Amino acid sequence: MLSYLHAIQIGVLLFFIFFLISLIPYMIVQYRKYGRVNPWRFFVNFSFILYLVCAYAMTIFPLPNVEQVAQMTGPKQNLVPLEFVRQFIAYNPLELSDKSTWLLALKAPTFIQPFFNLLLTLPFGIYLRYLFKRSFSQVLVLSFLLTLSFEFLQRSALFGLYPRPYRLFDVDDLLLNTAGSLIGFGIACLLVKVLPDLDIQQPVPVQVGMIRRSIAFGVDIILMEIIAAFVPHFYMALLIVFVAVPLLFRGTFGQKLLKIKIEAGRINIFIRQLLFLVNFGILGLLGYYLQRSGYVAENELGQNLLLIILCLILLMLPTIDLLFSALSRRQKLWYERLSRTELRAK
């Protein structure tokens, strides 16, 4: 049991690494495809990935010592079907007439191992039916292929990394895992009657939320860093990404990627982007004075400190505006109000 818990811990860690890498691309796809991120769909999609990662982790981990595996002499595979039934009959302490043996029977390895093999793939059948809308025959084939991949990993000695398999290739596992998915399919047929339908198109909000804006801004920052490597000055990359592109296409590259449009005339857009760059100017001044404090003369340290404090105060103003705008209905920032522009979802 402890080894399974350790494998699940590794699986959760691997999932979070995948989650951090795939979160922004996933949200970009959702915004482009649906115009919004459905929280329930978000949860179901990533919980499916979490399940798959943990399921594979439980079939692979914990990794044994190579020398220990080399000394193993036990069987590498069991190709006799329903061997778990014969093991249960022969070794399980269950006596139907004796109630004192019922709990012992549930704790015995001859019951626990087949039972957990059923549970391992039960969620897979639920996800195939609910998330992917697969039929019974498709679930049968896909669940068999999933468990076959488990057994292949074990039989191949983790693609030859070990001198021999460190876990038994068992045909009963194929049967039990596949049966577990089919049970999950049956459960999902009941769950779909009460769970939200993931395919129902929800109304797309016209207003652009702060999360969507932030993702677009992050894409633009990455693009700006790339362009800065090919142009003489950093400020030239800043003007290209946040002034020239919006003037030509009524939106930055990040905004176009997330299907956001600046609604206004060219002059208003130009004013908007110049006002937007004021935020960068404050950050630039703050960085300059912070760096200057390391080499400025001692008699100028007080003045330098006051300038740093002034920059921090100025930086607080757009930060507070951002917080209030996020809570407001129209979600317009200060430079949009002054320039009479607005972001709209396309």
- Non-local (6+) Cβ contacts of 108 within 8 A are 91, 92, 93, 94
Q: Measuring CA to CA, which residue among 20, 18, 8, 27 is closest to residue 216? A: 27
Q: Count Cβ atoms within 10 A of the Cβ of residue 26 and give its class: 0-12 exposed, 13-18 middle, 19 or more buried.
A: middle
Q: What is the pLDDT of residue 138?
A: 97
d(CA 144, CA 150): 10
Asked if residues 223 and 158 have their Cβ atoms less than 8 Å apart, the reply is no
pLDDT at 1: 59
Residue among 295, 290, 243, 283 nearest 267 (CA): 243
Distance of alpha carbon 243 from the chain centroid: 33
Residues 6+ apart with CB under 8 A from 85: none
Paired tokens of 243: 């002034």
The per-residue pLDDT string of the chain (346 residues; one tens digit each, 9 = 90 and over) reads 567 788 889 999 999 999 999 999 999 999 998 888 999 999 999 999 999 999 999 999 888 888 888 888 888 898 899 999 999 999 999 998 888 898 999 989 999 999 999 999 999 999 999 999 999 999 999 999 999 999 999 889 888 889 999 888 999 999 999 999 999 999 999 999 999 988 877 776 777 889 999 999 999 999 999 999 999 888 899 999 999 999 999 999 999 999 999 999 999 999 999 999 999 999 999 999 999 888 888 888 889 999 999 999 999 999 999 999 888 877 889 999 999 999 998 8
One-character DSSP codes across 114-144: HHHHHHHHHHHHHHHHHTS---HHHHHHHHH
**What letter does residue 207 receive in the DSSP assignment?**
B
Shortest CA distance to 223 belongs to which of 203, 200, 202, 245? 245
Per DSSP, which regions of 56-162 are E strands? 77-78
Q: Which two tokens stand for residue 335?
A: 């430079």
Closest CA to 52 of 156, 2, 127, 161: 127
Preceding peptide of 62 cis, ω within 30°? yes
